[in-house]
Amino acid sequence: MSRKPVHLAVYDSLADWETGHTTAWLARAGYRVLTVGPAREPVVSIGGLRVRPDLALGELRPEDSALLILPGADLWDTSDDLAPFARTARAFLDAGVPVAAICGATAGLAREGLLDDRAHTSAAPFYLAATGYAGGARYTDADAVTDGDLITAGPTEPVAFAREVFRRLGVFEGEVLDAWYRLFHDSDAAAYAVLHRATAP
């Protein structure tokens, strides 16, 4: 089955650990994962990984994508450099294409007004409140939250973040999704057999 690719935003200071489960298992499920940078020049993650983007943000169109993933980064809180990614998230959501944001990217979406009317989560309520956004009443104290086409999570929940992405894209469902989460979040060895039966070639 032909699928549109998933797009992973990459920028200087991106948090390496937040999207690894998501992108690895999407790739195993047959999705092509393409990286999108501010330009095509290499960026460097918090962990020192050098990434050369597959395309520049200006080349990205919602109709060509299955999902936009926005990882956290120091830059979300120290400058306006990543605001264009939040504006792109708005274009995706307006087009009915899912967006998944974790950690500092949730603050970027808050500043863009995208969390004012959607249930969401983040690192903590006061973190988003500091953006001056109007969505405090929609904040949910949960590991990850999906509201329609928007997925949000805090920095300590990369596994729950991945779970919500898999659910939204239909990669795993039901007991298989539950088993994946129990294995990688809870280290429940009993879940391995369920997941292996469902994903073995």
Q: Which residues have a catalytic role annotated?
A: 103
Cα distances (Å, whole numbers) of residue 83 to 77, 105, 153 = 11, 10, 19
Query: Could you tell me where the DSSP H helices lie in the chain?
Result: 20-28, 75-78, 83-94, 104-111, 125-129, 158-169, 174-186, 190-199
Angle 174-186/190-199 helices, nearest 10 degrees? 130
Residue bearing tokens 């489960």: 21
